[in-house]
Amino acid sequence: MTLKDLIKPWRHVFKLDPEKEIHDETLDRVCMSGTDAIMVGGSTGVTYENTVDLLSRVRRYELPCVQEVSDLEAVVPGFDLYMVPVVLNTSDTTWILDRHREGIERYGYMIPWDLVVAEGYIVLNPEATVAKLTKAECSLSEEAVAAYAQIADKLMYLPVVYLEYSGVFGDMETVKRVRRSIEDAQLFYGGGITTAEQAAQAASAADTVIVGNIVYDNLDHALATVKAVKG
Ligand code: 1GP
């Protein structure tokens, strides 16, 4: 089975931020919700310690647990997969190549390449921490977003295109347009999902729906997104 086969069936994923506290009971409900996987990651404040802690707690459950790598110091062995973002809509090469080169230079000998999945990130909410951090160019036309997605899919053969609206519910027309314009890559959508209705809309536009912050803000709403996406 290839990595692509592993992530292909994922329709719903909860993204948990290791910097944020989560009670055992909440984590239990999240992990037992029927979601397809837990993704561990965040833009800031991610450390080795808080990542190990969250991984070990999620490991009590049977579902896949993947790390989205944002900080070299915080890469923890033991995840099922490592998702590595490559930010496409930035001119700051730090987030396209430089961090990646540094990581491979330092840790290349121990990287489990068979567990690494690259994500072509297109960051679309200018107010999000990730947009500020990566200096992403977010004011893009639908055509430009679709063109970035095609770079990921057709030129770079990245297995995942991730439309990242973190913090705000995105433009579903753009998401649909991107989906029509790519062939092989799996389309992840994440950002601002706070209700089951939004989750259902995102599910009809993208292959995989990522639900983040609402877990911490309104657990019942977060749990309702699972059924909305998976039916
Ligand atoms: C963030 O795409 C995820 O990386 C989910 O976004 O936290 O806004 O749900 P939210």
* Residue 166's pLDDT band (cuts 50, 70, 90): very high
Residue 4 has pLDDT above 80, yes or no: no
What is the distance in A from the centroid of ligand 1 to the CA of 191?
4
- Residue 73 confidence (pLDDT): 87
Sign, Cα dihedral of 53, 28, 38, 163: negative
CA atoms of 69 and 229, how far apart (whole Å): 25
Which band of pLDDT confidence, cut at 50, 70 and 90, is reported for residue 206? very high
Question: Which of 28, 103, 105, 15 is closest to 67 using CA atoms?
Answer: 15
Residue 71 has pLDDT above 90, yes or no: no
Report the predicted TM-score, pTM, of the whole model to 2 decimal places: 0.97
Q: Let me know: does 58 contact 31? Beta carbons within 8 Å.
A: yes
Mean pLDDT in the chain? 96
| E strands present in the chain | 12-16, 37-40, 65-68, 81-87, 116-123, 160-164, 186-190, 208-211
The predicted structure's pLDDT at residue 211:
98
Residue 189 Cα to chain centre, angstroms? 8
CATH number of 3-230: 3.20.20.390
- Considering only CA atoms, which residue is closest to atom 2 of ligand 1? 190
Answer for the pair 180, 147: CB distance below 8 angstroms, yes or no: no
The structure tokens listed for 117 are 């999945």
120: Cβ below 6 Å to ligand 1? no
pLDDT tens digit string along 11-31? 999 999 999 999 999 999 999
Percent of the chain with pLDDT over 90: 93
pLDDT at 231 over 80: yes
- Residue 67 Cα to ligand 1 midpoint, Å, equals 14
How many other CB atoms sit within 10 Å of the CB of residue 108?
10
Cα dihedral 133→136→138→142 (10° resolution): -140
Q: State whether the beta carbon of 222 lies less than 6 angstroms from ligand 1.
A: no
For 84-112, the DSSP string reads EEEESSBS-GGGTTHHHHHHHHHHGGG--
Say which residues have a Cβ less than 8 Å from residue 189's Cβ, sequence separation at least 6: 162, 163, 165, 170, 175, 202, 205, 206, 208, 209, 210
- Decide if pLDDT at 5 tops 90: no
* Cα 12 to ligand 1 centroid, rounded to whole Å: 12
Closest protein CA for atom 3 of ligand 1? 190
CA distance 174 to 132: 21
Which atom of ligand 1 lies at the shortest distance from residue 43's CA? 4
Q: For residue 132, list its beta bridge partners.
A: none
pLDDT digits (tens, 9 = 90+) for 89-142: 999 999 999 999 999 999 899 999 999 999 999 999 999 999 999 999 999 999
pLDDT score, position 134: 96
Domain ranges of the chain: 3-230
